[in-house]
């Protein structure tokens, strides 16, 4: 199993551009989530999904959209990037929402200029 994969590893955007951060898992996990991590801070939850077709907001959802059309994929969309969205983004998955262990991807480092 590849586990949780994220692409790209690095990305630079200009203010106002849009892009999609990709997240995929091959463990048939129902639960997937997106976090962002800013320098010197812990991780903050952006959006999560408890199964295909079901998504919900986390702590910091503004400026981000998600959808979950398949079990494997959970893309994060930035519709109009802002400098405040410069961060490292982590995707995570677990077998279900009550599972004890979540598996994290390697992260995408995004810079918005």
Binding site for other proteins (CB under 8 A): 4, 31, 33, 35, 41-45, 48, 50, 56, 58-59, 90, 92, 94, 96-107
Nearer to other proteins by Cβ, of 17 and 38: the residue is 38
For residues 91 and 74, is the Cβ–Cβ distance under 8 A? Answer: yes
Nearer to other proteins by Cβ, of 56 and 80: the residue is 56
Helix (H, G, I), strand (E, B) or coil at 85: helix
Helix (H, G, I), strand (E, B) or coil at 2: coil
Q: Tell me how far, at minimum, the Cβ of 2 lies from other proteins, in Å.
A: 14
Nearer to other proteins by Cβ, of 2 and 41: the residue is 41
Within 13 A of 29's CA, how many CA atoms are on the CB side? 30
């Amino acid at each position: 199993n590849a586990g949780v994969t994220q692409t790209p590893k690095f990305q630079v955007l200009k203010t106002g551009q849009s892009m999609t951060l990709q997240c995929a898992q091959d463990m048939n996990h129902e639960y997937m989530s997106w976090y962002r991590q800013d320098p010197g801070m812990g991780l903050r939850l952006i959006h999560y999904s408890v199964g295909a077709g079901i998504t919900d907001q986390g702590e910091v959802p503004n400026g981000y959209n998600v959808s979950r059309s398949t079990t494997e994929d959970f893309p994060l969309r930035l519709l109009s990037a802002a400098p405040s969205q410069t961060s490292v983004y982590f995707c995570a998955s677990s077998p279900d929402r009550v599972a004890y262990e979540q598996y994290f991807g390697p992260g995408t480092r995004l810079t918005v200029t």
